Structure 1
């Protein structure tokens, strides 16, 4: 380029308006005459001649070109060079006048450097280097115009995202999203923790969870799946741990009794409990919801040989109390459940028994008397503990087999006494030789008696809830449309679970879950082939009301619709299991978060005239965990009959029976009720009431009280079951807490 040409270029760029036109075309790309004129604030009538002159000057200097066919102007390569040169000059002048500084995410203050934006775009969002330079230059120009001496990293990122959106580079913007919590949300978190009397660990955990949730939705899940969760078509349960940990694990405690755990194998009953306590707390870091010690009294029975009743009872008391004391003041994320047998199951009678010092001695059938004694002592200790405070943890799941109603009647009666006085027991009804176990939420894992242990060393790894009422709202009574939308939603749910499985496998293989993978350094503990992934749902009865016009209890047609819906889900789950190499299970599970979040989103989307909800329109929720709402006035016999029909299709279900604690005292009648429920087809159930615990006098009272009946203090903790577990009312979902008084409680005297 000769001197004359160079002079023409600088002369063309010397006008403020012409430089603005160059910058505009550099950012926006090709634009027509009218858009350029409007962007530089020139009047189409008054300034037409002036504007044409500016365009001709830029074309003559080779800084822009005109596409005659499209009638659009575009910046040339030479024009881009001039824009970049202009920005460099502006940056130099800005620095001379007063440098810009940045408060970074690394908690330091640094001088602004455009190249750091370039590096961030290239490294974090995989933006091509030349495009990154162009974006960074545009951002710098806008920041200079702010006239702010101190910038922040989040502010700069917002400007970068703004430029990316303007350039329609949405994929790059998506990758560049910074995870974190707004200052306001953190402040609210502090206020919430203070109000609910939670400790600082709660604040730290929730702040960290917010980041993980954003990461999962933005980066781990396919966009369609993430959108389905956010919009309310589905709900990913435990989003915080979706890519980090399984929901639950059912331990084979023989593994630790035989090998020990950071210790030698236990040589007596007390040491065995110490090992199991250590297992629970250590594994809590790698499991998000529940750990289960199945056949607890059977596998520990050999450790009662030569031990006195008093010694065993004392060790048990300390074991249960240790778990429970921590729970009352710091409600746990992780719960422990114990699977208890009334006798040695047939499939275990001839299995080699792990005994003191990890030695094999005899078979479990040899220790039937000790297993029965241990069960008896567990009930005794629980009855003693509830005199001082509610037993929130561990959770006691009694597996009642057909023969137990006759062979172990007295023990069953004692167990129901515990139910009357504390609501503690869960009852799982099994056939005599059925190899199965339940979690406290009702997820059943089963196998043939020949391979009974495949229900152990794994569990329910993850759950997605389907918003059934929304499908009904959209189907508008059309059966085919309902089925089509249901299957489509199930595919999204299964895809989310497939993502979870992929991340869990990666975490296990990389050693990010060291205890689940190799707790003792060599043997792989967690058995991937034994895990299941569950698809659950909310609002089954509300769905029937919307689609058929009546609730399940009021019309046979509604019940048929519900049963057909579940059969469709079971069949589709079988198809998806084969297609995705995923062991899928349809389950009817409770979830406060799913039932309240999905109902709230539907109320906002469809309005009061369309939605069918529980609670109020302002604080709505859908029925979860059961078919019939807890507030539905219906005879208990009818409730059991309807819920049993669902249990016959979905064995992973539960039936809570709420009773009036002050009018509930006939233990034999309660046992008859359990037998009746079992005969009708109920698989998993529990009786439950509400309780209040006085911190001042350490007494527990039936019912919801706000003043102690003994010492007159108001320092009380009110607890009731939600999500199948006793939880302080202060931690309940607000919609359910406000509707608690409408729950139907039965007088079972």
Structure 2
């Protein structure tokens, strides 16, 4: 195939090489445009006025500099350009022309001075990328570090992989932490109840606490362990089977005291501003209304002992049914009350486990303890919370594919699912019994998402080519995963993940215990984005509009699931498919496709959001009001009944084994909790939806310190701007 002509002709007939494309610092590949250099010089040199009181560059001066820069680039004969390289040439040109002050504000200190200034005042780089970050100086510091780290890792990656990310073929999540830490982790609380707490992982920088002997200390250790863990991970931290493991500390304790300690736990988790960028720890706790059957006959682990009849008298978790029920009630009661302003608690996310064990009441226990709430009472309480605040997430373990009773399984972080199954883990029984301190360790190494609509654009209507394009993108993900694993081995060897890699002193033998996190057991997650737009381009219909589109989506996801299994075996890593829980990724892919000439026309026909406004803003900002639909979801704006949406989306849950979610939007309505519960339990029994949530819109007055209600005076009269909270 002949090379494309890379020259253009001037009016005088002189051939001039075209300028190569530019890899931008914010993650895209775009065409070279001299005007961007001019605009940047004019805008950034305004800081000379702010910092030094000098005049900034005029349009004429900036144009002269840009022409000199362009001439130098051509003379170098470069085949590729990057934003940082252009900036270096601009700075050299400014120095050569004696414009030292301009150079000082245009140069890089890891990031351009102008960009750093915007970050300091809450604007600029990813200012709206994470709703959990606070408006404080620590967030500014994090954003600067993020920007530098992302550029570093893109430079360290092989160029073809970096280009796949930059061009929008794939998205490497939490790129700023790619070279230093795994993604997320679900913890076995028994580890800390047995060994105590070593917050720094090695005992050299922080005080080391022995195993908790009292309930309040156990609760505080649970809080601080998650706070410490987030320093070693990029994503969320959680506990599975939280209440069962904690219950022995609360034996025979009055409900008022239990409630007080659960209130302490919730407030600690929502007032501990220690996570990345001074934010709250993104935390979750799996909650069951009673002791699961799998754990009833297993020895308890608390107060630094395994109560197995050897280290201590035999005590099993089944003895603490009362405590688990009251802990469940107390935690939900606290969340129902809200904080001092009546606002909902953001964390920890209560992951309500809907299990076969609790669909039938324990009649004998209930008759013997008539003062205790039943399973139905406790579940109903969670739906009161869902109706009021939309806080709970529901982990439906009823479908056969979830393997209830055959292993352990949980959802955490945003919507990632982790599991450990008896027939796939030779140590499963030992972990259940905490034998030799063996314990469960579940989490994810890394998430990389695919731009599914782009695969459809490339396929040009050919089914097999579509599947081939998707498999090719998965191959790219595996290349990224291998590099992640290699880099993290270096980090581990240099002792840079001390909390995750800790091996504390055994309280009985004095020997070093097993490592806290089994890194080899973490999964690699491939996220899917825009399946709806993929089939829309390929078939002409969205998921909900035709049977053909729906069948193609199922076929494509099944092909990907089968290929993920093949890749797992071939590369000795566990690969899971997931719905990507990062809405900004859907936006980034849509923007990338509009920026790319060969995909622009196709993308314009299927992207969601305000495409007209987005096209008008194209070239001025990347923060366009457009997006691709997340995961395998039906488009949010699709005008179909909830039952139809459920009928379509539930089919994908067994396929997307790494995590998925079904949203039920309540708007500002507050429906009857019993009605919600009836609907939800029917959903659990009759569909394959494994994880769902009721989402409410709330408006809180920052002046009157309370939630706005329709019986109050007009909203515009007393509510501050930007105070709408989506639960």
Verify same fold: TM over 0.5. Answer: yes
Distance in 1 separating the partners of 2:452 and 2:256: 53
Describe the superposition over 1:107-143 as per-residue Cα deviations: whole angstroms up to 9, x where unpaired: xxxxxxxxxxxxxxxxxxxxxxxxxxxxxxxx9xx99
2:405 corresponds, among 427, 433, 445, to 433
Distance in 2 separating the partners of 1:691 and 1:212: 36
> Post-superposition shift, 1:440?
3.8
SS of equivalent residue, structure 1 residue 438: strand
Distance in 1 separating the partners of 2:100 and 2:671: 71
Indicate conservation of the 8 Å contact 2:95/2:103, yes or no.
no
Question: Which deviates the most, 694-703 or 258-267?
Answer: 694-703
- Matched with 1:700 is 707
Indicate conservation of the 8 Å contact 1:706/1:714, yes or no.
no
- Matched with 1:419 is 386
Indicate conservation of the 8 Å contact 2:153/2:178, yes or no.
yes
Describe the superposition over 1:424-443 as per-residue Cα deviations: whole angstroms up to 9, x where unpaired: 11111114414211114222
- Matched with 2:254 is 308
- Matched with 2:85 is none
The 1:456–1:717 alpha-carbon spacing in structure 2 relative to 1, beyond 3 Å, is farther
Map of 1:99-178 to 2, 5 A cutoff? Answer: 146=96
1:577 corresponds, among 568, 572, 579, to 568
- Matched with 1:636 is 642
1:372 aligns with 2:325: yes
Map of 1:472-621 to 2, 5 A cutoff? Answer: 472-518=456-502, 520=504, 522-523=512-513, 524-605=515-596, 606-608=599-601, 610-611=603-604, 612-617=606-611, 618=614, 619-621=625-627
Describe the superposition over 1:310-366 as per-residue Cα deviations: whole angstroms up to 9, x where unpaired: 112111112201222457998837401001112222221222102345462511122
Distance in 1 separating the partners of 2:94 and 2:240: 66
Map of 1:328-343 to 2, 5 A cutoff? Answer: 332=279, 334-343=281-290
Question: Which deviates the most, 669-678 or 591-600?
Answer: 669-678
Distance in 2 separating the partners of 1:712 and 1:203: 30
The 1:331–1:671 alpha-carbon spacing in structure 2 relative to 1, beyond 3 Å, is farther
1:251 corresponds, among 187, 191, 196, to 187
SS of equivalent residue, structure 1 residue 217: helix
Describe the superposition over 1:666-710 as per-residue Cα deviations: whole angstroms up to 9, x where unpaired: 22221121122222111100101111222333323469999769x
Map of 1:20-31 to 2, 5 A cutoff? Answer: none
- Matched with 2:135 is 198
> Post-superposition shift, 1:607?
2.7
Structure number with larger C-alpha Rg: 1
Question: Which deviates the most, 240-249 or 385-394?
Answer: 385-394
1:214 corresponds, among 134, 147, 151, to 151
Map of 1:49-64 to 2, 5 A cutoff? Answer: none
1:350 aligns with 2:317: no
Indicate conservation of the 8 Å contact 2:410/2:417, yes or no.
yes
SS of equivalent residue, structure 1 residue 607: helix
Distance in 1 separating the partners of 2:714 and 2:704: 12
- Matched with 1:275 is 221
Greater length-normalized contact order (CA 8 Å, ≥ 6 residues apart):
2
The 1:143–1:459 alpha-carbon spacing in structure 2 relative to 1, beyond 3 Å, is closer
How many residue pairs get aligned? The number is: 559
The 1:344–1:493 alpha-carbon spacing in structure 2 relative to 1, beyond 3 Å, is same
The 1:705–1:718 alpha-carbon spacing in structure 2 relative to 1, beyond 3 Å, is farther
1:296 aligns with 2:302: no
Indicate conservation of the 8 Å contact 2:181/2:233, yes or no.
yes
> Post-superposition shift, 1:491?
0.4
Q: Which runs of 5+ in 2 are unaligned?
A: 1-13, 15-88, 129-133, 198-207, 308-313, 362-374, 399-403, 432-437, 506-511, 615-624
1:471 corresponds, among 452, 455, 464, to 455
Distance in 2 separating the partners of 1:603 and 1:425: 37
The 1:542–1:455 alpha-carbon spacing in structure 2 relative to 1, beyond 3 Å, is farther
Distance in 1 separating the partners of 2:349 and 2:465: 42
> Post-superposition shift, 1:419?
0.8
Q: Which runs of 5+ in 1 are unaligned?
A: 1-37, 39-138, 159-177, 721-725, 727-749
Describe the superposition over 1:146-179 as per-residue Cα deviations: whole angstroms up to 9, x where unpaired: 48597999999x9xxxxxxxxxxxxxxxxxxx98
Pairwise CA RMSD of aligned residues?
3.2
Distance in 2 separating the partners of 1:503 and 1:145: 38
Indicate conservation of the 8 Å contact 2:385/2:392, yes or no.
yes
**TM-score of the two chains, using structure 1 as the length reference:** 0.70
2:687 corresponds, among 680, 684, 696, to 680
- Matched with 1:446 is 419
The 1:686–1:200 alpha-carbon spacing in structure 2 relative to 1, beyond 3 Å, is same
